[in-house]
């Protein structure tokens, strides 16, 4: 069957089971948008290409399926570099299609030309420049394979216009269904090494103060059930990093919650005092370890990750297991069982008592609003959490609101927390929430956003309302770039440099209404719950609530950047701890 490249592209995407793509057309990709009209694939027309990328990420993180975005050459491609880098850092499977100038024009500084594969080389798992139409079906097949297997990540396919333009003879191809891949250098390893598993099992059984350090690899490998079985078998407490909130339920007695710079005292300190860290799909990020040399000084390390380059990158493991986390944890369960299972565990009563004592003495706390005082962001989040279904998907931008959301929500289901972890991309929440809602229309999706973040990508609410993908947005509006303000207050002698944004400019309510949203402005504690209840009733369009919060509220606990986790700073109301 004779097709042109544009038709072959659509057919290739359909063949991969793609149901939705996020994009924005332009000159070079324009011919590929014509066969899109006849395709079964739904296209969501974004207002900025960055939105397309983050929507594809939100979709991928909510569904486990790869997210797909299509944009044009030049500025279309450069605008999607941030989502590519974000997806690369957080291992989100994406396939991004970019238009390119015709093959003959490449290298001539043609209109809307840029070196897309060159620019994106370091922020993609792999990228392709399609050089002839005949290879297009195979390239798309390979792109999805690379994006979704091994350590997932973004793959970019750059397609010159001549290949999709039916008026160009270069666009013709004989359609074929690719089977298999000719990728001799790509052999992702998933099965754990039996010797390493046996060695890990012995360390686990013997450990007196072990902690399971679980990261985003749990969610990527769909290992939440396996993690639960493993933790319950060995009765070892679990910390869930920012990328694995929901990967182990917060309500479980063994769950210690989030570690790291803004982790709770018990999660941070249990790792510091541990004699064994069972690291599962986590990568010793600096926001978790604090000063690396002072991190968990007495702990032996078991490190399981599907990416061998993570093993020993930051901290040398005693046992390294290059494996898919689900397969690896299942193997660990078997190996521990073979050693006697629950009965073979060292006596850890003292460890559990110590942890229980920390939890009781150093819970997350905040000063409630005094009568007539400003709203506390923590209070807003508690109200939001209590008023929404337990399987609500929560998306966040980056900053104080993100940390408060991670701290104060109760994540009891996997794939209910979507945020920008590694790259820390402000403006992530709104487009990611739209992508998540597009992938899980049955779920309620709330974006918890800051006022600074909201201003970066708010225009995608037009997309949400046009495309009837209704999300809800809670802006924690403190009129500042709050996290930067917090650092300036704590570490720069309250010299506030370029962090004030104003609570009223823009008028968030008016802006949201102009974009077709229902919108509210809330300033008093007793208005919070009714506003959330009202928002939860609205399903035919997006809702934005501008919560005016206390501008001076800070995120605690906090480990100052570069400090040891032993130097954790608690809420001023809590006595300084003596670990």
Partner 1 sequence: MAVKPHHTLVVLVENKAGVLARVAGLFARRGFNIESLAVAPTDDSRLSRITLVVDAESAPLEQIINQLDKLINVVSIRELASSESVERELLVVTVNASGETRGQIMDLVRIFDGRVLNVGPDRLMVSMSGGPNRVDDFESLLRPYGIVELQRTGKVALPRLAKAGGEVGEF
Q: How far is the CB of 286 from partner 1 (least distance, A)?
A: 15
Q: Which is nearer to partner 1, 309 or 356 (CB)?
A: 309
Q: Which is nearer to partner 1, 121 or 538 (CB)?
A: 121
Catalytic residue among 113, 128, 138, 161: 161
Q: Which is nearer to partner 1, 184 or 576 (CB)?
A: 184
- 152 Cβ partners below 8 Å, 6+ apart? 66, 91, 92, 93, 125, 220
In DSSP terms, 156 is beta-bridged to 96, 127
Q: Are residues 277 and 315 in contact, defined by beta-carbon separation less than 8 angstroms?
A: no
Q: For the range 356-362, what are the long-range contacts, defined as Cβ-Cβ under 8 Å and sequence gap of 24 or more? A: 358/265, 358/266, 358/269, 358/270, 359/256, 359/266, 361/577, 362/264, 362/265, 362/266, 362/570, 362/574, 362/577
193 secondary structure, DSSP code? P
Q: Which is nearer to partner 1, 116 or 420 (CB)?
A: 116
Q: How far is the CB of 224 from partner 1 (least distance, A)?
A: 26
Q: How far is the CB of 131 from partner 1 (least distance, A)?
A: 8
111 catalytic? Reply is yes
Q: Are residues 413 and 505 in contact, defined by beta-carbon separation less than 8 angstroms?
A: no
Q: Which is nearer to partner 1, 105 or 228 (CB)?
A: 105
Q: What number of CA atoms fall less than 13 Å from residue 35's CA on the CB side? A: 18
Structure tokens at 433: 């929430």
What span, in angstroms and rounded, lies between the C-alpha atoms of 483 and 477? 12
| Helix 482-491, helix 400-408: angle, nearest 10 | 100
Q: Which is nearer to partner 1, 97 or 393 (CB)?
A: 97
455 catalytic? Reply is no
Structure tokens at 555: 């995120």
Q: Which is nearer to partner 1, 122 or 497 (CB)?
A: 122
Q: Which is nearer to partner 1, 155 or 445 (CB)?
A: 155
49 catalytic? Reply is yes
Provide the residue count of the chain: 579
Q: How many helices (H) and strands (E) does the chain have?
A: 23, 20
Catalytic residue among 10, 89, 483, 520: 483
Q: How far is the CB of 121 from partner 1 (least distance, A)?
A: 6
**Interface residue list for partner 1 (CB under 8 A):** 117-118, 121-122, 125-126, 129, 131, 146, 183-186, 307-309, 311-313
Helix residue ranges per DSSP H, 342-428: 349-361, 377-387, 400-408
What span, in angstroms and rounded, lies between the C-alpha atoms of 486 and 569? 13
Catalytic residue among 7, 10, 22, 49: 49
Catalytic residue among 112, 134, 459, 574: 112
Pick from 284, 234, 262, 60: nearest CA to 154: 60
317 secondary structure, DSSP code? -
Q: How many CB atoms lie within 10 A of CB 178?
A: 17
Helix residue ranges per DSSP H, 134-242: 136-148, 161-164, 194-206, 217-220, 224-234
534 catalytic? Reply is no
Q: Which is nearer to partner 1, 126 or 509 (CB)?
A: 126
235 secondary structure, DSSP code? T
Q: How far is the CB of 133 from partner 1 (least distance, A)?
A: 17
Q: How far is CA 311 from the centre of its chain?
A: 21
Burial of 30 (0-12, 13-18, 19+ CB in 10 A): middle
128 catalytic? Reply is no
Catalytic residue among 14, 111, 121, 490: 111
Q: How far is CA 183 from the centre of its chain?
A: 28
Q: Which is nearer to partner 1, 136 or 267 (CB)?
A: 136
Pick from 362, 366, 346: nearest CA to 354: 362
Q: How far is the CB of 186 from partner 1 (least distance, A)?
A: 5
Q: How far is the CB of 278 from partner 1 (least distance, A)?
A: 21
Q: How far is the CB of 15 from partner 1 (least distance, A)?
A: 21
Give catalytic residues, as residue numbers. Answer: 49, 111-112, 161, 483
């Amino acid at each position: 069957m004779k097709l042109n490249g544009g038709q072959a592209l659509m057919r290739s995407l359909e063949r991969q089971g793609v149901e939705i793509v996020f994009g924005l057309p332009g000159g070079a990709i324009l011919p590929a948008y014509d066969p899109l009209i006849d395709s079964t694939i739904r296209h969501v027309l974004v207002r900025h290409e960055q939105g397309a990328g983050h929507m594809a990420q939100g979709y991928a993180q909510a569904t486990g399926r790869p997210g797909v975005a299509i944009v044009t050459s030049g500025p279309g491609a450069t605008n999607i570099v941030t989502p590519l880098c974000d997806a690369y850092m957080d291992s989100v499977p994406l396939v991004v299609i970019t238009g390119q100038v015709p093959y003959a024009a490449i290298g001539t500084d043609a209109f809307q030309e840029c070196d897309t594969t060159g620019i994106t080389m370091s922020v993609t798992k792999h990228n392709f420049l399609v050089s002839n139409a005949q290879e297009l079906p195979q390239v798309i097949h390979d792109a999805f394979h690379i994006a979704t297997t091994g350590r997932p990540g973004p793959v970019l396919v750059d397609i010159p216009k001549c290949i999709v333009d039916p008026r160009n003879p270069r666009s013709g191809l004989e359609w074929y269904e690719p089977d298999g891949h000719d990728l001799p250098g790509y052999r992702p390893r998933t099965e754990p090494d039996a010797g390493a598993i046996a060695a890990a099992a012995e360390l686990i059984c013997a450990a007196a103060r072990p902690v399971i350090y679980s990261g985003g690899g749990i969610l990527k490998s769909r290992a939440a059930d396996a993690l639960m079985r493993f933790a319950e078998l060995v009765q070892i407490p679990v910390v869930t990093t920012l990328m694995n909130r929901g990967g182990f339920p917060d309500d479980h007695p063994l769950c210690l919650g989030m570690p790291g710079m803004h982790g709770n005292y018990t999660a941070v300190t249990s790792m510091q005092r541990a004699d064994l860290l069972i690291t599962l799909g986590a990568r010793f990020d600096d926001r978790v370890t604090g000063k690396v040399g002072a991190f968990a000084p007495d702990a032996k390390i078991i490190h399981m990750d599907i990416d061998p380059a993570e093993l020993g990158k930051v901290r040398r493991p005693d046992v390294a297991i290059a494996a898919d986390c689900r397969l690896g944890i299942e193997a660990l369960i078997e190996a521990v069982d073979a050693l006697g299972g629950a009965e073979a565990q060292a006596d850890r009563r003292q460890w559990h008592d110590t942890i229980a004592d920390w939890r009781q003495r150093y819970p997350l706390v905040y000063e409630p609003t005094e009568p007539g005082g400003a709203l506390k962001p923590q209070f807003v989040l508690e109200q939001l959490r209590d008023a929404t279904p337990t399987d609500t998907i929560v998306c966040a931008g980056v900053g104080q609101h993100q940390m408060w959301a991670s701290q104060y929500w109760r994540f009891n289901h996997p794939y209910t927390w979507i945020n920008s972890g590694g790259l820390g991309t402000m403006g992530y929440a709104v487009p990611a929430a739209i992508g998540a809602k597009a992938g899980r229309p049955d779920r309620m999706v709330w974006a918890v956003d800051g006022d600074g973040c909201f201003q970066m990508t708010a225009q995608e609410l037009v997309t949400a309302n046009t495309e009837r993908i209704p999300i809800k947005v809670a802006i924690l509006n403190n009129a500042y770039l709050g996290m930067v303000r917090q650092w300036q207050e704590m570490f720069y002698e309250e010299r506030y440099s370029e962090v004030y944004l104003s609570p009223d400019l823009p008028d968030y309510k008016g802006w949201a209404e102009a974009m077709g949203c229902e919108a509210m402005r809330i300033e008093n504690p007793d208005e919070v719950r009714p506003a959330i209840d009202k928002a939860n009733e609205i399903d035919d369009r997006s809702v934005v609530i501008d919560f005016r919060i206390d501008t001076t509220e800070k995120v605690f606990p906090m480990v100052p950047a570069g400090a040891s986790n032993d130097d954790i700073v608690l809420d001023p109301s809590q006595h300084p701890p003596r670990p």
